[in-house]
Amino acid sequence: MSNKLIDLVNISKSYDNELILDDLNLYIRENEFLTLLGPSGCGKTTTLRLIGGFESPDQGKIIFDGQDITKLPPHKRTLNTVFQKYALFTHMTIAENIAFGLKIKKKSKAYIDDKIKYALKLVNLDGYENRMADQLSGGQQQRIAIARAIVNEPKVLLLDEPLGALDLKLRQDMQYELIRLKNELGITFIYVTHDQEEALTMSDTIVVMNQGYIQQIGTPENIYNEPENAFVADFIGDSNIIDGVMIEDKVVEILGTKFACVDEGFGNNTPVDVVIRPEDVELVSPQEGIIEGVVSHLIFKGVHYEMEVQAHGYEWLVQSTKLVPVGTKVGIKVDPFNIQIMNKPASEDEEAVMLDE
């Protein structure tokens, strides 16, 4: 990855005395597809709006390509935003919508016509110049909104839940479109979503946020396989998160039973959170398992079966391509490498991990 393009330094922001972002530090590299991911109200859209210049931070500064742009208005920043609500001008043709920003910049007609053709080709809507915006489907309108942003040749494209209004199939198609566009255009994408699958599919880097704090920054694989705390593990994909006690290095007690694990350095007899992904729970015969249980629930998910197993007073979520009928007595086994141990947060609000990258 190339060098830093945007650097958010010690950013804090409040609305009506409510702290939304608290001393946030984050940098974004050139040509990176970076996704801000988290539940509603976690601060991800506020972060995007600060980068776009639609909001100003109470504290901290925003550096863009080596320059302090903290007080620069949006139209003077070399970036463009695509919102969930498209914001196309319905009384204008597609060509007029795309040309809007270029006309304000007083570009020549020939330049604008070239750019319109180029942008429509890029979003696979050749020949749509003279259609009206309200004659298009949601997916087509979204592409036009993207085309309108990219003709301005921004260094950065900000996307605020741009696929939120589309149906599932169309959303998946558009995810691939966005990856292709990013690769072809070679610009930086900063993407906001609360959809974990979207983040895992498209991003080079995911920033998981909660309550104004960054919980973890990493590649999709890293965030999924090595979550740094129970919040991240629970937010990205399904997890069994169980209260445990670290007896000693490499031995954890879960639900009254000792399991071998690979984690060290938690001390002896320390309360911990234990995270086990449902696909990592192995169902075997009762005598082969570490603990015994009974399958209490079963649904077919297409690629796999999802089962609930009652064992030692806990409802285990299990995903497997093998069907085990409800009522079957089973043993549960977990490979030591698939048991992740995490420190318990000292309080509900404690930011689980603050990153000063």
Please, what are the averages of pLDDT over each run of 10 residues along the chain (357 residues)?
86 94 96 95 94 96 96 91 80 91 88 92 90 87 88 90 82 87 91 93 96 95 92 92 96 97 96 95 97 97 95 97 97 96 71 41
State the residue for tokens 């990855």: 1
pTM: 0.85
Residues linked to residue 82 through DSSP beta bridges, in sequence order: 159
Write down the pLDDT at residue 201. Answer: 92
CA distance 77 to 53: 8
CA distance 244 to 199: 30
CA distance 336 to 314: 19
Q: Residue type for 286, please? A: P
CA distance 339 to 262: 8
Two tokens at 270?
A: 């320390």
For 148-174, what is each residue's pLDDT tens digit? 888 888 899 999 988 887 788 888 888
Q: How many CB atoms lie within 10 A of CB 142?
A: 26
Cα-to-chain-centroid distance, residue 255: 32
- Given CATH 3.40.50.300, say whether it is the number of domain 4-225: yes
Among 273, 277, 286, smallest CA distance to 317 is for 277
Measure Cα distances from 292 to 154, 190, 257, 307 in Å.
58, 46, 11, 15
CA distance 172 to 59: 38
Cα-to-chain-centroid distance, residue 272: 26
For 295-335, what is each residue's pLDDT tens digit? 999 999 999 999 999 999 999 999 999 999 999 999 999 99
Report the run of H or E that residue 285 belongs to, with start and end: none
Write down the pLDDT at residue 318. Answer: 98
CA distance 114 to 151: 10
Strand 329-333 with 291-300, pairing: antiparallel
Superfamily of domain 239-343: Nucleic acid-binding proteins (2.40.50.140)
Write down the pLDDT at residue 143. Answer: 87
State the residue for tokens 């979503």: 193
Domain ranges of the chain: 4-225, 239-343
Residues linked to residue 295 through DSSP beta bridges, in sequence order: 309
Q: Say how many CA atoms lie within 13 Å of 144 toward its Cβ.
A: 31
